[in-house]
C-alpha cells in the first residue's frame, strides 16, 4: 500500500499528527467559513455558487476536499491555498478565473485532482502549477488558453490526465509537455490547432491516448498519410479527418485499440495498413469506409472469436482483401483471416473465454511495444519492470548489492539475500528510489554513507537483520527518509546518534529487539519524530530526558517490555502524545498523579500529557489500583484488561470515572475472590465507599442473566471513531506498493488500489 512517491515529494512532518487528528470526533474540529458547508467527518468544505471573490481564508487546515465551484475569484494569487496543505481534491470550475499566478498552488503536495474548467485562463505560466507533485488529473477545459509557457507542466511528474479541450490553442511549441513522466491521456480536442512543432510531443513516453479531434489540422489535399513507426497506442474518434485521403499507413506503431470512428472523416480511404500493432480486437470502423479495398492486419495478435465476425462478414460482402492471421484461440492460431469463415468465429461461455484470454496473456512475451533499446536496465538475476519502476532481486542469494538498476527505479526490493555487510555507496545511480527493501539479508553492519545519493528515499526497511549498532553517518545523504524499519534486529541498546542526519524522520520502528534502556538524548537529531515503536524489547528503564528531543511525539509504544512503572518523568515533555501503549509490562503501580496535568505538581507528574492523550493501553500489567483518570478528558480508547484489579474503595476513582465517560473500559475485578471476573462497572461495592454514594443503585429486581444493565445503551458515536480506525492508522503502510501512485497522502488514502503486493 505505499506509495508512490515522486522523488521530489516531501512528506510533511505533520503526517501522523494529521492522521491522528482525523480520528478526533467531529465536535472538536473547528473552523468553517461562513458561506460554506463543512463536513468535519469527511473533511470536506463546499462553497458552491457563493459569489466569493477570494479563496476563503478560514478553511480548516485539515480539509481534504475543497469545492469552490461557481464563484468570482478572478485571480489566484501565489500561495492561495497555503493554509490547506492536506487537500487532495480542489474544484474551481466557473470561478471567472483569468489568471493563475505563479506558485498559486504551492504547498498542495498532496493534491490529486484539480479542476479549473470553465474559467477564463489564457496563459499557463511556467510556474502556474508549481508544487503539485502528487497531481494525477488536471482539467483546464473550456478556458481561453492560447499560450503554454515552456515548463508549465514540468513539476507534474505524476499526472495521468491533462485535459485542455475547448481552448484557443493554435499551435503546440516544442517540449510543451515536458516533465509529464506519467501522462496517459492528453486531451487537446476542440482547439484551433493548425501547427504542431516537430518536438511538440517530445518526452511523452507514457502517453497511451492523444485526442486531437476538432482542431484545425486539416490537410485537405492530402491523399497519402504515412505514420508508420510512431509509438501511438490509440486512435481516437475521428482522429484522421482528411476528405481526400486514399492511403493511410499506420503500421509498426503500438496501437492497442482504435475508435470505431477513427477514420470516419476520411471516406475516400482505399488502403489502410495497420499491420504490426497490438490489436486483438478490430472495431467496426470499416462500416464508414465505403471505398476500402485492402486492410492489412498482419502482425497483430487478432483474436478470432465471435467479435471478429462482423469484420469477416464485411470483408466477404465488400470483397475487401484482408491480410493477417489469427493470434488465437489455439485451434485457429496462425490461420489466415481470409481463410476463416464467419461460422467458425465463435465465442465460448464467458468463463471459458476469460480463462482462454488469461492463458493467452500469460503466454504473451513482454509487450512488443518495447523496442530492444527501451528495455529497462536490470542486473543479472533480478526482475525489473519498466512501467511500474519496480526492480526486484528478492530471495536470489545475492551476496553483494547488485548494481546497474535503471535510474528510474522507484522501488528496489532486495529482501532475502545474504549481504552480511553493506559498504558505503552501495546504491549508485538510483536517486529516485522511494522505497528500499533490505529485510532478511543477514546484515550485521551497514557502513557510513551506504545509502548516499538516494535523495528520494522515503521508506527504508532494514528489519529482520542482525544489526547490533549503527554508525553515526549510516543514514548520510537521505534527506527525505521518513519511515525507518529496524524491527527484529539485535540491538541491545538504542542506536543513538544515528538519527542526526535524517531531518525528515517521522516514524522509527524498533520492535522486537533487545534494547534494555532508553538513555538521555537518544533521539538527538530526530526532532520531528512522531511515532516511536519499541514494543517487544526488554526495556526496564526510561531515563528522564530520554524523549525530550522529540517534543512532537504522537505515538509511543512501549508494550511487552519490562517496565515496572509508567515512565512519568520521561514523558513530562511529551505534551503531544496521543497514543501511549504500556501493555504487557510488569507495572504494579501507577502513581496517583501520573496523569494529572497540574502545574506545580512534583516533577513526577505528566505535565501536559493528560488532555492530549487519546489512547492508553495498560492491559496485561500488575495493576491492583488505577490512578485518577479524570485529567484524561479526551481519552477515546483505554484498555485495563488483565490486571489484578482489587475492587474496593481505593478503586473508587476509576469507578467514578467510568460512570462519567462514555467509553468501553476493559476493566475486570480480580479481587476480592467473590467479585473475580465481574466488570468494575457492574459491581456495587463502590457505593459504600466515601464519595461513592452517587453511583447508581443496584437494580431492585434481580436482573435476568441474559440482559446485563446498560446492554441497551446506544453505542457512543465516539467509539466508531476510535478503535477500528485508530489501529490501521498507526500501523504501517503495506510494504510494497505500486509506485504509479502518489505517496499515500498521510498513509490514509493508501488503500487497496495502490497496493499490488502483500
- The footprint of ligand NAG (CB under 6 A) covers 50-51, 487-488, 511-512, 536
Q: Could you tell me the three cell numbers for 672?
A: 476480592
Instruction: State how far the alpha carbon of 648 is from the alpha carbons of 212, 644, 645, in Å.
Output: 80, 12, 9
CB 584 within 8 A of CB 50: no
| Cα(287)–Cα(303) distance, integer angstroms | 20
My answer on whether omega of the bond before 672 falls inside 30° of 0, hence cis, is: yes
> CA torsion 570→573→578→580, rounded to 10°?
0
Nearest-approach distance from CB 412 to ligand NAG, in angstroms: 22
CB 524 within 8 A of CB 548: no
Question: In terms of CB distance, is 120 or 283 closer to ligand NAG?
Answer: 120
Question: In terms of CB distance, is 402 or 536 closer to ligand NAG?
Answer: 536
Nearest-approach distance from CB 51 to ligand NAG, in angstroms: 4
Question: In terms of CB distance, is 191 or 463 closer to ligand NAG?
Answer: 463
Question: In terms of CB distance, is 511 or 548 closer to ligand NAG?
Answer: 511
Question: In terms of CB distance, is 51 or 395 closer to ligand NAG?
Answer: 51
Question: In terms of CB distance, is 64 or 529 closer to ligand NAG?
Answer: 529
Which among 88, 52, 54 has a CA at the least distance from the CA of 70? Answer: 52
Q: Could you tell me the three cell numbers for 721?
A: 471513531
The neighbour count for residue 478, using CB atoms within 10 Å, is 25
Question: In terms of CB distance, is 1 or 145 closer to ligand NAG?
Answer: 1
What is the residue-wise DSSP string for 155-179? T-TT--EEE--SS---EE-TTTTTT
Question: In terms of CB distance, is 85 or 536 closer to ligand NAG?
Answer: 536
Nearest-approach distance from CB 487 to ligand NAG, in angstroms: 4
Per the listing, cell 512519568 goes with: 568
Question: In terms of CB distance, is 51 or 194 closer to ligand NAG?
Answer: 51
What is the residue-wise DSSP string for 346-399? ----HHHHHHHHHHHHHHPPSPTTS-GGGSPP--TT-EEETTTTEEE-TTS--S
Query: Residue 231: what are its φ and ψ, rounded to 5°?
Result: -80, 55
| Cα(470)–Cα(465) distance, integer angstroms | 12
Please report which helix (H) or strand (E) contains residue 725, including its range.
helix 723-730
The C-alpha angle 77, 17, 723, rounded to 5 degrees, equals 130
Nearest-approach distance from CB 50 to ligand NAG, in angstroms: 5
Nearest-approach distance from CB 18 to ligand NAG, in angstroms: 23
Q: Could you tell me the three cell numbers for 213?
A: 479531434
Nearest-approach distance from CB 740 to ligand NAG, in angstroms: 28
Nearest-approach distance from CB 730 to ligand NAG, in angstroms: 12
What three-state secondary structure class fits 617?
A: strand
| Cα(81)–Cα(83) distance, integer angstroms | 5
Nearest-approach distance from CB 131 to ligand NAG, in angstroms: 31
283: left (phi over 0), alpha (psi -120 to 50) or beta: beta
| Cα(495)–Cα(491) distance, integer angstroms | 7
Nearest-approach distance from CB 467 to ligand NAG, in angstroms: 14
Question: In terms of CB distance, is 509 or 578 closer to ligand NAG?
Answer: 509
Nearest-approach distance from CB 629 to ligand NAG, in angstroms: 29
Q: Which residues of 715-746 are buried (b: 16+ CB within 10 A; e: fewer)?
A: eeebeebbeeebeebbebbbbbbbbbbbbbbb
Nearest-approach distance from CB 397 to ligand NAG, in angstroms: 24
**Positive or negative CA dihedral for 606, 609, 611, 614?**
negative
Nearest-approach distance from CB 464 to ligand NAG, in angstroms: 8
Question: In terms of CB distance, is 34 or 694 closer to ligand NAG?
Answer: 34
Question: In terms of CB distance, is 36 or 755 closer to ligand NAG?
Answer: 36
Amino acid at each position: 500500500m505505499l506509495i508512490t512517491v515522486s522523488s521530489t515529494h516531501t512528506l510533511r512532518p505533520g503526517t501522523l499528527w494529521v492522521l491522528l487528528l482525523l480520528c478526533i470526533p467531529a465536535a472538536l474540529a473547528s473552523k468553517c467559513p461562513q458561506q460554506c458547508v463543512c463536513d468535519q467527518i469527511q473533511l470536506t468544505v463546499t462553497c458552491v455558487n457563493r459569489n466569493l471573490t477570494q479563496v476563503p481564508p478560514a478553511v480548516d487546515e485539515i480539509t481534504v476536499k475543497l469545492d469552490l465551484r461557481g464563484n468570482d475569484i478572478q485571480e489566484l494569487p501565489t500561495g492561495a491555498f497555503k493554509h490547506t496543505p492536506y487537500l487532495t481534491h480542489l474544484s474551481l470550475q466557473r470561478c471567472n478565473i483569468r489568471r493563475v499566478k505563479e506558485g498559486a498552488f504551492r504547498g498542495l503536495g498532496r493534491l490529486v485532482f484539480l479542476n479549473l474548467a470553465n474559467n477564463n485562463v489564457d496563459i499557463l505560466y511556467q510556474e502556474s502549477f508549481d508544487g503539485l507533485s502528487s497531481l494525477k488529473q488536471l482539467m483546464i477545459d473550456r478556458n481561453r488558453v492560447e499560450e503554454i509557457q515552456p515548463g508549465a507542466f514540468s513539476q507534474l511528474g505524476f499526472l495521468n490526465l491533462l485535459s485542455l479541450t475547448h481552448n484557443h490553442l493554435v499551435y503546440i511549441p516544442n517540449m510543451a509537455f515536458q516533465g509529464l513522466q506519467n501522462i496517459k491521456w492528453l486531451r487537446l480536442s476542440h482547439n484551433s490547432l493548425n501547427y504542431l512543432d516537430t518536438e511538440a510531443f517530445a518526452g511523452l513516453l507514457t502517453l497511451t491516448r492523444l485526442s486531437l479531434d476538432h482542431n484545425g489540422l486539416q490537410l485537405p489535399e492530402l491523399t497519402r498519410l504515412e505514420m508508420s513507426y510512431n509509438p501511438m497506442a490509440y486512435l481516437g474518434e475521428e482522429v484522421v479527418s482528411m476528405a481526400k485521403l486514399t492511403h493511410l499507413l499506420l503500421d509498426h506503431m503500438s496501437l492497442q485499440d482504435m475508435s470505431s470512428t477513427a477514420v470516419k472523416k476520411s471516406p475516400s480511404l482505399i488502403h489502410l495498413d495497420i499491420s504490426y500493432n497490438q490489436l486483438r480486437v478490430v472495431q467496426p470502423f470499416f462500416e464508414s469506409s465505403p471505398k476500402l479495398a485492402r486492410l492489412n492486419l498482419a502482425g497483430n495478435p487478432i483474436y478470432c472469436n465471435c467479435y471478429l465476425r462482423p469484420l469477416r462478414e464485411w470483408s466477404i460482402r465488400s470483397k475487401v482483401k484482408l491480410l493477417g492471421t489469427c493470434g488465437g484461440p489455439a485451434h485457429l492460431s496462425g490461420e489466415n483471416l481470409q481463410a476463416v469463415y464467419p461460422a467458425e468465429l465463435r465465442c465460448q461461455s464467458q468463463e471459458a473465454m476469460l480463462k482462454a484470454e488469461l492463458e493467452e496473456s500469460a503466454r504473451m512475451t513482454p509487450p512488443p511495444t518495447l523496442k530492444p533499446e527501451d528495455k529497462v536496465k536490470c542486473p543479472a538475476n533480478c526482475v525489473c519492470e519498466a512501467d511500474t519502476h519496480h526492480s526486484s532481486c528478492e530471495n536470489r542469494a545475492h551476496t553483494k548489492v547488485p548494481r546497474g538498476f535503471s535510474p528510474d527505479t522507484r522501488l528496489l526490493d532486495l529482501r532475502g539475500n545474504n549481504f552480511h555487510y553493506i559498504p558505503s555507496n552501495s546504491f549508485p545511480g538510483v536517486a529516485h528510489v522511494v522505497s528500499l527493501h533490505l529485510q532478511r539479508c543477514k546484515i550485521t553492519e551497514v557502513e557510513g554513507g551506504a545509502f548516499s545519493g538516494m535523495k528520494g528515499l522515503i521508506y527504508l526497511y532494514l528489519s529482520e537483520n542482525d544489526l547490533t549498532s549503527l554508525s553515526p553517518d549510516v543514514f548520510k545523504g537521505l534527506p527525505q527518509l521518513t519511515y525507518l524499519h529496524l524491527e527484529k534486529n539485535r540491538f541491545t541498546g538504542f542506536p543513538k546518534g544515528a538519527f542526526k542526519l535524517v531531518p525528515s524522520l517521522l516514524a522509527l520502528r524498533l520492535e522486537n529487539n533487545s534494547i534494555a534502556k532508553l538513555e538521555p538524548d537518544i533521539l538527538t537529531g530526530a526532532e520531528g519524530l512522531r511515532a516511536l515503536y519499541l514494543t517487544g524489547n526488554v526495556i526496564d528503564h526510561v531515563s528522564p530526558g530520554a524523549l525530550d528531543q522529540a517534543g512532537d511525539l504522537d505515538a509511543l509504544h512501549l508494550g511487552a517490555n519490562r517496565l515496572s512503572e509508567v515512565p512519568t518523568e520521561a514523558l513530562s515533555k511529551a505534551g503531544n502524545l496521543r497514543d501511549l501503549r504500556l501493555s504487557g509490562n510488569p507495572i504494579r503501580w501507577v502513581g496517583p498523579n501520573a496523569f494529572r496535568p497540574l502545574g506545580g505538581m512534583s516533577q513526577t507528574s505528566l505535565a501536559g500529557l493528560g488532555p492530549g492523550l487519546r489512547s492508553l493501553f495498560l492491559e496485561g500489567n500488575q495493576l491492583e489500583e488505577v490512578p485518577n483518570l479524570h485529567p484524561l478528558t479526551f481519552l477515546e480508547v483505554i484498555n485495563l484488561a488483565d490486571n489484578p484489579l482489587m475492587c474496593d474503595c481505593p478503586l473508587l476513582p476509576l469507578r467514578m470515572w467510568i460512570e462519567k465517560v462514555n467509553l468501553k473500559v476493559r476493566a475486570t475485578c480480580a479481587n476480592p475472590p467473590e467479585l473475580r471476573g465481574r466488570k468494575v462497572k457492574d459491581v456495587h461495592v463502590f457505593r459504600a465507599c466515601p464519595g461513592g454514594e452517587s453511583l447508581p443503585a443496584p437494580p431492585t429486581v434481580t436482573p435476568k442473566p441474559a440482559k446485563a444493565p446498560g446492554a441497551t445503551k446506544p453505542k457512543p458515536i465516539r467509539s466508531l471513531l476510535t478503535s477500528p480506525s485508530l489501529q490501521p492508522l498507526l500501523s504501517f503502510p503495506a510494504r510494497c506498493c505500486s509506485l504509479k501512485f502518489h505517496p499515500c497522502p498521510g498513509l490514509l488514502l493508501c488503500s487497496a488500489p495502490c497496493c499490488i503486493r502483500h
